[in-house]
Copies of this chain bind each other. A is one copy, B any other.
Amino acid sequence: MSLSADTPSIRQDIIDAVADGFERQTEFLADFTRIPSTRGQEDPALDFMAKALKERHWDVDDWTVPTTALRDQPGFCDCNGEVTHIRSVVGTLDSGTGNGRSLILQGHLDVVPEGPHEMWATPPYDPQIRDGWMYGRGAGDMKAGKVAALFAVDALRRAGHAPAGRVHYHSVVEEESSGLGALSTLARGYRADCAFIPEPTGLGLVRAQVGAIWFRLKVRGRPAHVAYAGTGSSAITAAMHLINALQDMESDWNAEAANHPYYRDVAHPLNFNAGMIRGGDWTSSLPAWCDVDCRMGLLPGDDVNARRAQIVETVEKAAANHPFLRDTPPEIEWTGFMADGYALENADAPEAALARAHAAATGEAKPEDQSWTALTDTRFYGLYHGIPSLCYGPEADSIHGFDEKVNLASMQRCTEVIALFIADWCGLRQIGG
């Protein structure tokens, strides 16, 4: 039997059930945040999620594929061969009735490196609560959202319901570098009528998001004793020359963005970042090598291959103008993202369901539209598989920074909204008890 979620009493039951479980949910988030699931180190976090799903009697699919097996999927990038395998964990609840609409609740559990610990007020993997915020690497991006989605289904159950439509709960890796985790679930065959990714949006809806390209500049040259600086040449100052040229390119691309329908009101939507630099072996030797790991944003609608070609051209032109790089041009390695931008369009039905859930939990008519200068896994569902993909989640601050934090009240609101959304989108069926 399918129940309607728009009965006020059912709504209130669901909201109350979220509240009843919230203390446990907060502890669960702390436990999850204690796991330092940086790139390549995600297994304990995947184990944690697989265990949580099994305890809740979800059907669990836990599998690993070689990265090369994904190469024909749209949106694939090869991470310069540095990521060889992808493991994913998907839980499924299927009523078997064929009623209701299906839903993918997706979230990544990889976190970005925490940086020097002394710059954190409290240790990054020892989550602490101050003034209603939980602090810790990954608490905001996006462990709180992942936990909200899991506990939303728990709350439905406590209120005596289960989703009528099929629900998949996806835990993926590599969201912060390539999206290969999301890609592996699509290659596995998971599809639904809608995807929902609770990234930290502050209870707003991501209407558009940028794409991104990752690349590494590899400068190599003839070092010498610094006493004879004229005979050698510095790979570090040569790399600085390339960074300057890419910053000029960044300005040009942002000037173009002033005409984009979703970004015309966003100041500087496309960010170039020289995120890591390593060069040289000795203070008194001219540096022979310098590697710079870079990220550049691009707009929804941009052709990622054309943008990549512009990056190559910028680097080649800058090298041709440089006395040292002219003879020893830099190499470019494509180290991760080769990601299209994405705009949420033609998604009236899931958007309406989200608006109803948001209104019931917050009292506001609908979530605020956002044009993101970051990216999420939504692009895979929306662009390549026609699955409208909502990105909506709790409020976080200082993600990728020190003292990253998530607002716990917003996590509770978000859990209510996801539970109400599931009830609305998938429908409900009564469970025994």
Question: Which residues of A line the B interface, CB within 8 A?
Answer: 112-116, 119, 141, 176-177, 210, 212, 214, 220, 222-230, 232, 234, 236-237, 240, 243, 267-268, 271, 273-290, 293-295, 297, 335-337, 372-374, 398-402
**Residues of B close to A230: CB separation below 8 A:** 267-268
Most B CB within 10 A of own CB, among A280, A286, A294: A280
A337 to B290, CA, bound (A): 24
Which chain B positions have C-beta within 8 A of A279? 276-278
Chain B residues, CB < 8 A from A281 = 112-115, 275-276
Taking the closest CB of chain B, its distance from the CB of A287, in whole angstroms, is: 6
Nearest residue, chain B, Cβ from A280: B276
User: Other than the known A273-B283, A288-B402, what 7 A-B pairs have Cβ atoms closer than 8 Å?
Assistant: A115-B281, A115-B288, A226-B271, A273-B285, A278-B279, A280-B293, A282-B400
Closest to A277 in B: B279
Cβ of B284 and Cβ of A273 under 8 Å apart?
A: yes
Specify the main secondary structure of chain A where it touches its partner: loop
Bound: A311/B398 CA distance, A: 34
B237 contacts A274, C-beta separation under 8 Å: yes
What are 9 of the A-B contact pairs (CB < 8 Å)?
Answer: A214-B283, A225-B399, A232-B401, A275-B284, A275-B285, A276-B281, A277-B277, A277-B290, A285-B401
Chain B residue at smallest Cβ distance from A232: B401
In the complex, are the beta carbons of A273 and B401 less than 8 A apart?
A: no
Among B176, B273, B293, B402, the residue within 8 A (CB) of A222 is B402
The smallest beta-carbon distance between A379 and chain B, in angstroms, is 15
| A232 contacts across to B, CB distance below 8 A | 401
For A239, give the chain B residue with the smallest CB separation: B277
Cβ contact within 8 Å between B280 and A226: no
Nearest B residue to A278 via CB reads B278
The distance from the CB of A337 to the nearest CB of chain B, in whole angstroms, is 8
Q: CA A373 – CA B228 in complex, angstroms?
A: 7
Interchain CB contact under 8 A, B222 and A401: yes
